[in-house]
Amino acid sequence: MRYSSEETAEKHERILDAAGMLFRSKGLSVNVRDIMAAAGLTHGAFYAHFDSKDALIAEIAERCVGETAALVATARDAPDPLAALSNAYLSREHRDHAEAGCAVAALGAELSRQTPESREGYTGKIDAIIDQIGALVDADNPKAARKDAIRHYALAVGALILARTVSRPDLSDEILDAARSGE
């Protein structure tokens, strides 16, 4: 049965939505069968959309990092853009919902072990996020702004990872609070 291009695109998006949620909540070891079941599609339909699981991972990584770039863009109009970004990124809601949050914090360690091809698009998106954050930094020197942006981004990602890994809610909150006030 042939599907219209709209139906095909809609199914592709369903697969990406399901994979993004499952990868961020359970890791990259989630199998294709589970992804397709979550998307409400058959396992065999996967290969009509992707050549391999690596191809899906690459597209998901780019897409998820693009979502973080959108978050950075929304902070641009705030009176204190870095504080707005920090407050949104280092929120308890973001910490508690990895499945809907930043792929870098949820999957960074796993993505670092993927093929260079899988990481290529992801790397470009990370570089773009650093540039976006750099544009929020009040600095006359672009090199200094970029270094400051990398510092802010690394602090936020690291703090979010650390806050998610500790077992005590009070310590987790303390980590988020300290990282937010570190601006």
Tens of pLDDT along 45-87? 999 999 999 899 888 888 877 788 888 888 989 999 999 999 9
Mean pLDDT within 161-181: 97
Q: Taking Cα atoms as reference points, which of 103, 27, 7 lies closest to residue 59?
A: 103
- Token couple for 120: 């290529």
Calculate the alpha carbon distances from 79 to 41, 54, 85, 109, 114 in Å. 45, 41, 11, 34, 39
Residue 153 lies in a domain: yes
DSSP characters over 62-90: HHHHHHHHHHHHHHTTSSSHHHHHHHHHT
Number of folded domains that form the chain: 1
Tens of pLDDT along 11-36? 999 999 999 999 999 999 999 999 99
DSSP class of residue 44?
G
Q: Taking Cα atoms as reference points, which of 156, 4, 7 lies closest to residue 68?
A: 156
3-state percent helix, strand, coil for the chain, nearest multiple of 5: 80, 0, 20
Quick check: pTM over 0.85?
A: no
Residue 155 lies in a domain: yes
Residue 85 lies in a domain: yes
- Domain limits for position 129: 52-181
CATH number at residue 133: 1.10.357.10
